[in-house]
């Protein structure tokens, strides 16, 4: 083990980007190649580039849902949902990616890490707590989502369109988590720098 821990993580991780080996970057079609570069050659986009149509569909949907402008819920609330769902499903790649993004959106690293550990251990507003509970129900037992859950969300200020965006966001990570868990995609080293 001493020997192993001196092994370069980069080398090990490179071999483990995905169980379906990504194609060399220079063989990618133009628009897939552009996506790959625009996403900083991160492991997740490399893994998706095995199927260019998948990469484009995925990046298009995600780009729209997580755009800084144009969505209804503040970015920090969409990132909150992303972290909760990814932690429940055990997608380490998605969890660390969105913990970092949540920390940036909140301007509060400690709170973001507390939420990822367990939302019981973080100082949440009533609105944040209602979103956490919705994301949890949508993920673990969507049939348990009942009309009163919507009433609670309305009571903390969400419109019906915002409630649907919250449901969509929670459901979306049940999609993304499963892709990256199934492929076994490793988080990039840089995710651990902060």
Residue 96 or 101: which CB sits closer to a copy of itself?
A: 96
Q: CA nearest 176: which of 74, 77, 57?
A: 57
Residue 34 or 146: which CB sits closer to a copy of itself?
A: 146
Residue 117 or 155: which CB sits closer to a copy of itself?
A: 117
Which pair of tokens denotes residue 170?
């929670």
Please tell me what DSSP assigns to residue 191. Answer: G
Residue 26 or 146: which CB sits closer to a copy of itself?
A: 146
Please tell me what DSSP assigns to residue 10. Answer: H
Which pair of tokens denotes residue 107?
């301007």
Q: How far apart are CA 47 and CA 19, in angstroms?
A: 9
Helices (H), the chain: 2-5, 9-15, 30-38, 43-48, 52-65, 75-89, 92-106, 109-117, 126-140, 147-155, 160-183
- Tally the C-alpha atoms within 13 A of residue 8's C-alpha that lie toward its C-beta: 4
């Amino acid at each position: 083990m001493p020997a192993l821990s001196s092994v370069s993580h980069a080398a090990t991780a490179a071999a483990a980007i995905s169980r379906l080996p990504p194609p060399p970057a220079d063989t990618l079609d133009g628009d897939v190649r552009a996506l790959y570069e625009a996403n900083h050659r991160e492991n997740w986009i490399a893994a998706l580039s095995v199927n260019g149509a998948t990469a484009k569909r995925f990046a298009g949907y995600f780009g729209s849902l997580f755009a800084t402008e144009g969505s209804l819920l503040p970015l920090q609330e969409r990132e909150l949902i992303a972290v909760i769902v990814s932690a429940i499903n055990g997608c380490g790649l998605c969890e660390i990616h969105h913990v970092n993004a949540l920390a940036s959106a909140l301007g509060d690293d400690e709170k973001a890490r507390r939420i990822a550990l367990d939302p019981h251990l973080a100082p949440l507003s009533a609105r944040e707590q209602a979103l956490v509970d919705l994301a949890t129900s949508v993920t673990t037992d969507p049939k348990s989502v009942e009309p009163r859950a919507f009433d609670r969300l309305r009571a903390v200020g969400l419109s019906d369109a915002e409630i649907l965006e919250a449901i969509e966001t929670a459901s979306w990570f049940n999609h993304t988590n499963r892709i990256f868990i199934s492929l076994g995609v490793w988080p990039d080293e840089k995710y651990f720098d902060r």
